[in-house]
Amino acid sequence: MIDLIGLAIAIPLAAAAVNMLVGARLGRFAGWLATGAMAVSFAIALGALLDLLSLPAADRAQVVTVAEWIRAGAATVTLDLRVDPLSITMAMVVTGVGSLIHLYAIGYMEHDPMPGRFFGYMNLFCAFMLALVLANDFLLLYLGWEGVGLCSYLLIGFWSERPEAARAAKKAFITTRVGDVMLLLGLFVIWIHFGSFDFDTVLGGEGSLPEIATGTATAISLLMLGGAVGKSAQLPLHVWLPDAMAGPTPVSALIHAATMVTAGVYLVVRTHVLFEISDVALTVVAVIGLAGALYAGFASLGQYDMKRALAYSTMSQLGFMFLAAGLGFNAVAISLLVAHAFYKALLFLTSGNVMHGLHDEIDVRRLGGLVRDMPWTAALFAAGALALSGLPPFSGYFTKDAILELASHDGEVWAYVLGSLGALVSAWYIARLFFTAFIGDQRYEGRAHEASTLMRAPLVVLAIGALFAGMWLAFTPEGRLATFLEPVVGTVAEGHAGPSTQVLVAISVVLTLLGIAIAWRLYRPAAAERWVSFPEREPGLAGALGHAFYIDDLYAWIVGTVGLGGAAALEWFDRTVVDGAVNGVGRLAVRASGLAPIWQSGKVRRYALSFLAGGVALLVFAAVRV
Amino acid sequence: MRTPIAYFLLLSAILFALGSASVLMRRNALRIFMGVELQLNSVNLTLVAFSRMHLELDGQILAFFSMVVAAAEVVVGLAIIVAVFRRTGTTDVDRADVLRG
Dihedral sign from CA coordinates of A339, A344, A350, A356 = negative
- Average pLDDT taken over every residue of chain A: 87
Query: Is residue A208's pLDDT more than 70?
Result: no
Contact B97 A602 (CB under 8 A): yes
> What value does the mean pLDDT take over residues A563-588?
92
Residue A454's pLDDT is what?
A: 87
Does B97 fall in a domain?
no
pLDDT in tens, A132-172: 999 988 989 999 999 999 999 999 999 888 899 999 999 99
Distance CA A80, CA A198 (A): 9
Query: Is residue A475's pLDDT more than 70?
Result: no
pLDDT in tens, A317-376: 999 999 999 988 888 888 889 989 999 999 999 999 888 888 888 888 888 888 888 889
Residue A140 · residue A131 · CB < 8 Å: yes
Residue A385's pLDDT is what?
A: 92
Distance CA A268, CA A261 (A): 13
Residue numbers of the domain that contains B39: 5-91
User: Considering only CB atoms, which chain A residues are within 8 Å of B99?
Assistant: 600, 602
Residue A374 · residue A478 · CB < 8 Å: no
**Which of A40, A48, A38, A36 has its CA nearest to residue A3?**
A48
B1 touches chain A (CB under 8 A): no
Does B75 fall in a domain?
yes
Distance CA A239, CA A38 (A): 30
Q: Which residues pair with A198 in a beta bridge?
A: A137
User: Considering only CB atoms, which chain B residues are within 8 Å of A614?
Assistant: none
Cα-only R_g, chain B: 17
CATH of the domain at B14: 1.10.287.3510
Residue B21's pLDDT is what?
A: 92
Residue A34 · residue A19 · CB < 8 Å: yes
Question: For A264, what's the count of Cα atoms within 13 Å in the CB-facing half-sphere?
Answer: 37
Does B74 fall in a domain?
yes
Residue B72's pLDDT is what?
A: 94
ipTM entry? 0.84
Does B34 fall in a domain?
yes
> What value does the mean pLDDT take over residues B39-57?
92
Distance CA A185, CA A207 (A): 27
Residue A477's pLDDT is what?
A: 47
User: Considering only CB atoms, which chain A residues are within 8 Å of B95?
Assistant: none
B96 touches chain A (CB under 8 A): yes
The length of chain A, given as a count of residues: 626
Q: Tell me the C-alpha to C-alpha distance, in Å, between residue A562 and each of A175, A339, A549, A569, B101.
A: 17, 42, 20, 10, 53
B93 touches chain A (CB under 8 A): yes
Does B99 fall in a domain?
no
Q: Is the link from the previous residue into A539 a cis peptide, with omega within 30 of 0?
A: no
> What value does the mean pLDDT take over residues A446-451?
81
Does B44 fall in a domain?
yes
**Which of A283, A280, A281, A279 has its CA nearest to residue A291?**
A283
The number of folded domains in chain B is 1
Contact B97 A603 (CB under 8 A): yes
Query: Is residue B98's pLDDT more than 80?
Result: no
Per-residue pLDDT band at B20 (split at 50, 70, 90) = very high
A619 touches chain B (CB under 8 A): no
Distance CA A376, CA A458 (A): 12
> What value does the mean pLDDT take over residues A534-539?
79
Residue A16 · residue A130 · CB < 8 Å: no
pLDDT in tens, A86-103: 999 999 999 999 999 999
Please tell me the distance in Å from A601's CA to the nearest CA on chain B. 4
B18 touches chain A (CB under 8 A): no
pLDDT in tens, A219-268: 999 999 999 999 998 988 888 988 888 889 999 999 888 889 999 999 99
Contact A605 B93 (CB under 8 A): yes
Dihedral sign from CA coordinates of A48, A50, A52, A54 = negative
Residue B49 · residue B41 · CB < 8 Å: no
Q: Which region holds residue A159: left if phi is over 0, alpha if psi is between -120 and 50, else beta?
A: beta
Helix (H) or strand (E) holding A346: helix A330-357
Does B100 fall in a domain?
no
Q: HEC string of A192-243?
A: HHHCCCEHHHHHCCCCCCCCCCHHHHHHHHHHHHHHHHHHCCCCCCCCHHHH
Does B23 fall in a domain?
yes
Contact A612 B96 (CB under 8 A): no
